Amino acid sequence: MTSTLRHPGTVLTDHWFSVPLDHSDPGGEQIEVYARELVAADREHEDLPWLVYLQGGPGHGSPRPVGPDWWAPALRHYRVLLLDQRGTGRSTPANRQSLALRGTPREQADYLALFRADSIVRDAETIRKRLLGEDVRWSTLGQSFGGFCTTTYLSYAPEGIREAFVTGGLPGLRVGADDVYRAAYPRVAAKNEAYYARYPQDVAAVRRIAEHLAEHEVALPDGSPLTVERFQWLGMLLGMGPGHDTLHYLLEGAWISGPAGPVLSDAFLEGVRAQVSLSASPLFALVHEATYGQRSVSADGTRWAAQRVRDEFPEFDARRALAEGRPVRFTGEMIYPWLFETDPALVPLRETAHLLAERGDWPDLYDPERLAANEVPVYAAVYYDDMYVDREDSMATARAIRGTRTWVTSEWEHDGLRISRGQVLERLIAMARGEA
């Protein structure tokens, strides 16, 4: 049922769409995809062009806006559709609770194989045609993984797009999972160096916590174990604008005096839990590496690429660092098998995750020939020091997609779209209008 909500300066309207679970079988099982329409209050009744937002992830729902916020530049020109990609937000869920209804781990893995960018793009096209009509194009804005989806969109159905905006999300077109992580670990190492340069006192603070975790069994407030490797996973923060500071302030409150001496404080452990738990976004862990699976690159599957490639970078071995008196390095946007041994939201999906990791022959997500002949204007922000998406891969893809203009900036990190108070989005829209 459609409902409308009014916030200061904006009007939000709910939309629900039934789409095929498998678009190659349109008459088969249907799932629901939710989207929220966002429009400036003073333009509510105008016939505006549409801009669909493709969220980063995979596995995260679209933002829940309160007022114009960083959407203000878009709301001056568009009616925005915030899409909860399949399995996320208010769309038909895909988590340990709902997936249990699918049957065996093999059946769950087969189901989740339909939750990649190719299916998301086909959902978007189904929604576009129902909402706007067959012949009306819309603009797209893809953040991070949403930019990957945009590149798939330009490969599969460019006829649906009027113009495309991408922020921190141009993927390597023919880059496999191993190569992705082989390039990622040095970027993460550089972020560690920058973090410790900013907060040199944290070298000792991190070592002290890692030593404690290596010698003691520590549980987070949800009862799950906090291992050294799980502590290192806090490095996910280091690729965001305020991430260095967030991590530092978290570490500041790590210790408290108890009857038996210093122990890790409840406040610290809860802060860690909030960062490392994937209860709100289990799809991020389940299909993350699958986003790099393409049969033309490798028919063997991803096979826990982040874990395998990590062995090539022994400097991320925390126990070795402790033994050798070196700083303990945090890791980054990598999905490891042990996540499915420690996170309560993921433990029931352990076998499903292994089946997905071993799954080979993933359909290609990008069509280089079609992209080389692209006629859709593309405007992309490439973050020079992006920890999550390789700059060189992004620039190579920008050159490979005809009609792409890039803005390379070191002013913002990967989350520039969200934290720049509209400056990143405003710059891209200005580029599209010949004003920048």
Give 113-152 pLDDT, tens digit per residue. 999 999 999 999 999 999 999 999 999 999 999 999 999 9
Query: What global pTM score does this model have?
Result: 0.96
Provide the pLDDT for residue 299. 85
Half-sphere exposure of 229 (CA within 13 A, CB side): 13
The dihedral sign for the CA sequence 141, 6, 88, 129: negative
Phi and psi at residue 142, to the nearest 5°:
-115, 120
Candidates 42, 222, 266, 361; catalytic one: 361
Express each pLDDT in 78-90 by its tens digit. Answer: 999 999 999 999 9
Structure confidence by residue, pLDDT tens digits, 295-339: 999 888 999 999 999 999 999 999 999 999 999 999 999 999 999
Q: What is the DSSP secondary-structure string of 125-150?
A: HHHHHHHH-TT--EEEEEETHHHHHH
Exactly one of 91, 144, 281, 298 is catalytic; name it: 144
Angstrom distances, CA of residue 335 to CA of 212, 269, 283, 286, 332: 24, 21, 11, 9, 9
> pLDDT value at position 121?
98
- pLDDT in the model for residue 287: 97
Q: Which residue intervals of the chain bear CATH 3.40.50.1820?
A: 4-173+366-432
Banded pLDDT at 255 (limits 50, 70, 90): very high
Query: 2 pLDDT exceeds 80?
Result: no
Residue 383 CB neighbours (<10 A): 26
414 is a catalytic site residue: yes
CA distance 30 to 18: 6
DSSP-assigned states of every residue in 12-34: EEEEEEEEESSTTSTTS-EEEEE
For 94-113, what is each residue's pLDDT tens digit? 999 999 999 999 999 999 99
Tell me if residue 212 is catalytic: no
**Is residue 91 among the annotated active site residues?**
no
| Span between the terminal Cα atoms of the chain, in Å | 42
Is residue 114 within 8 A of residue 21, CB to CB? The reply is yes
pLDDT value, residue 1: 57
Topology classification of domain 4-173+366-432: Rossmann fold (3.40.50)
Beta strands at 10-20 and 4-7: parallel, antiparallel or unpaired: antiparallel
Percent of the chain's residues with pLDDT above 90: 95
Judge whether residue 32 has pLDDT over 80. yes
Q: Note the pLDDT tens digit of each residue in 15-26.
A: 999 999 999 999
Q: Flag whether pLDDT at 67 surpasses 90.
A: no
Provide the pLDDT for residue 69.
86
Give mean pLDDT, residues 283-297. 96
Q: Which residue has the tokens 């906090």?
A: 226
Grouping H, G, I as helix, E, B as strand and the rest as coil, residue 383 is strand
Section 372-393 average pLDDT:
98
**38: part of which helix (H) or strand (E)?**
strand 30-40
pLDDT value at 363 more than 80: yes
Check residue 260 and give its pLDDT: 85
Question: Given this model, what pLDDT does residue 436 score?
Answer: 82
Q: Report CA dihedral (326, 317, 335, 297) to the nearest 10 degrees.
A: 110
**Peptide bond before 58: cis, by omega within 30 degrees of 0?**
yes
**Under 8 Å between Cβ of 141 and 162:** no
pLDDT number for residue 70: 87
Catalytic residue among 317, 394, 414, 415: 414
Mean pLDDT of the chain: 96
What's the DSSP call for residue 93?
B
